Structure 1
């Protein structure tokens, strides 16, 4: 009888594993994000990985590539259409409306999220089908100062991780009156030659012509360069708003470049829009996109409520860190490792290990019955500060040999004193 051949089940295309040796970097990034958010008084919100499909059709926009081409939709047993979340803002706003956070006394509601998103895209460097976003939303204020705060938070986050090759690009999409005038100008500009554009752009002409400016297929078309600029259609109040944002950034010492072609393609976006650019594998890439979206809360059934925020990809951040040769310090080093010789010493090592951990020390021991030399090699790989050696002689004396791995010195320490002794050595920097 032939032996059954088992097929190797592999990871789905466009996804990845974060292995144990890599996870410390992710933890450092997430820890930095949480610390920066705490400095700016943003609190964490956690929303489901899947939502009603209708949320993203209305919240992201049915003319976007995300909704038309990239969403993971499925039916549940109740024949309800659900979608793995492709972005975070719609879910946050849904929660804001559903739980009536607009009624809380402290306004604006300032929240952040960190978690996986899902889009069916062609996998490539920095772009995967499951990716991790860190994003913030400030809901409830139409003060242009909070636009500057949101931008400052994003820049502070990147700078806290050591990135220096950053470029902030800024634009204004104006108020609804500005947007409408610009929309009509775009339609008049593209309509005579719309047949030369891709099918997506043709469909967008009447529904959302601003999205044409974002098209990757037709970005080299001559009409793109001569398209009307939103800056020429800003109302006086919209210009004042944008001037206030720029003034605040100037006062903070945050440098930026103006780019009138920078757009956010959704109808409810207005006023400030921005991107933070960085290096990725030698090329300039967008690390962060954000802006103001004053119409989204009402679009999802809530009261008229202004909002502003950003989202960034941790995968792209990792590439930018690599380009700038930034290695985030791992905090996975052990305080001590126990090397034991013989069965009885192994049993005692387990008890001492438990006591060390109860005392708050990061500790481990050999579980593979290795020779002493191999156990010390494992301690080195774990970057252990101290190694505790226990054998028959140590059991008889009730004292362990404690070796300082930094300078090679060693001394005998009573079993009952090990935890306090090691903690005192660590606190004194020895």
Structure 2
């Protein structure tokens, strides 16, 4: 007996109607990005491993435990991308794409991380990323937040997500803070869980967003990052808050919010929901003003970006059940030739005429050649709107019969009147 081959654990297949919702989400986000002047960039799924080690930081969970690495035939270490920002900046640096220094870009596609699969967290997951380079004003930070808030409004989930922002300060600010934080953690080492003990020296900032309630209670007594921020970082955070308030976007400052990638500095933010289990981030991002210099010999070029998790959006939208996609019918016209000779030839010919005149219609030809009653049953199962019947009688009389399965109405007309008849019943304009 042959054992079935299954998908890789944590990597999923998606079928209709999930793919219909997926398409709707992507099209909504792309339309808004286009409205704001963002241009698409396509970047490879596979990159050199050194890129992520240098950009993300070698002492991070992603690089240490989660990357899918492989060696090519020349022995070079390659990695399935775990996130998109590093590859996007690599592409911009490699091709010297700094002509205007205010590039607004977006990308879309799968990312890969080897971690324990759970609801909303998979080993292959899809993101739409947004990146903006060359602008330092807090207004560009607010633009990213405004754009994402428009996504949620259009997807009718704005009441089910909430925005958290923070400043993690400059590199200098964080170095001073980390020293004090480590001293505190060392004094309370016996109270730390295993995860925090492991991170204490490697990446202590990640302890701040521990999901362990006991750790959060302990951290109430720890030094606070906000007390180590430079005046410049405080001014930027306050300015961003003023802009967001002016735009009436609800938010809160979460002084323990940090991002798990080393390239972030200053402003970071997350859109979070509690409608798909425990608090889950559906969109996260922040500033990375040193990343271009880190990956090149160029001077500092400021940047800010974020990434939206498509699978989590789908989970959220399905859970709250607030989007009703139109699915009364999925096929506009279903051509039914009643035999496989002249009627079939006629169906092929007519279908091409219709497609040429109405390129947006979904048109399918049936090749079942069973009796009409069975064909209608099959069409109803496929959610067909109009049935175009081509039988012996229609061919002899140079006629066609169209049946509206939603209204249960039928009309027979001469073949030469096809386009006129379709314009009329479909309410199209030629």
- What TM-score, normalized to structure 2? 0.92
Deviation at 1:198, TM superposition (A): 5.5
Deviation at 1:328, TM superposition (A): 4.7
Counterpart CA distance in 1 for 2:93 and 2:149 is 29
Counterpart CA distance in 2 for 1:59 and 1:321 is 33
Residue number in structure 1 paired with 2:204? 209
Deviation at 1:213, TM superposition (A): 1.9
Q: Please say if 1:88 is aligned against 2:84.
A: yes
Cα separation, partners in 2 of 1:221 and 1:231, compared to 1, 3 Å: closer
Query: Greater shift after overlay, 30-39 or 204-213?
Result: 204-213
Structure 2 runs not aligned, ≥5 long: none
Residue number in structure 1 paired with 2:185? 190
Which of residues 342, 349, 353 is equivalent to 1:351? 349
Which of residues 228, 249, 252 is equivalent to 1:254? 249
Deviation at 1:130, TM superposition (A): 0.6
Asked if 1 retains the 8 angstrom alpha-carbon contact of 2:160 and 2:275, the reply is: no
Asked if 1 retains the 8 angstrom alpha-carbon contact of 2:104 and 2:133, the reply is: yes
- What TM-score, normalized to structure 1? 0.92
Q: Please say if 1:418 is aligned against 2:418.
A: yes
* Paired positions, count: 423
Q: Please say if 1:66 is aligned against 2:62.
A: yes
Counterpart CA distance in 1 for 2:262 and 2:407 is 64
Asked if 1 retains the 8 angstrom alpha-carbon contact of 2:192 and 2:215, the reply is: no
Cα separation, partners in 2 of 1:341 and 1:309, compared to 1, 3 Å: same
CA deviation string 1:272-314 (max 9, x = no partner)? 1111111334543221111111111111114311111111211
Asked if 2 retains the 8 angstrom alpha-carbon contact of 1:388 and 1:401, the reply is: yes
Counterpart CA distance in 2 for 1:381 and 1:279 is 36
SS of the residue corresponding to residue 126 of structure 2 reads strand
Counterpart CA distance in 2 for 1:119 and 1:203 is 20
Cα separation, partners in 2 of 1:391 and 1:212, compared to 1, 3 Å: same
Residue number in structure 2 paired with 1:334? 331
Residue number in structure 1 paired with 2:305? 309
CA deviation string 1:174-221 (max 9, x = no partner)? 233432332232123223334654566456444542122234568626
Structure 1 runs not aligned, ≥5 long: none
Q: Please say if 1:112 is aligned against 2:112.
A: no
Deviation at 1:227, TM superposition (A): 2.1
Cα separation, partners in 2 of 1:236 and 1:59, compared to 1, 3 Å: same
Counterpart CA distance in 1 for 2:394 and 2:11 is 50
Asked if 2 retains the 8 angstrom alpha-carbon contact of 1:208 and 1:267, the reply is: no
SS of the residue corresponding to residue 215 of structure 2 reads coil
Counterpart CA distance in 2 for 1:264 and 1:284 is 15
Counterpart CA distance in 2 for 1:265 and 1:224 is 18
Counterpart CA distance in 1 for 2:317 and 2:379 is 29
Asked if 2 retains the 8 angstrom alpha-carbon contact of 1:45 and 1:112, the reply is: yes
Indicate the RMSD between aligned Cα atoms, in angstroms.
2.2
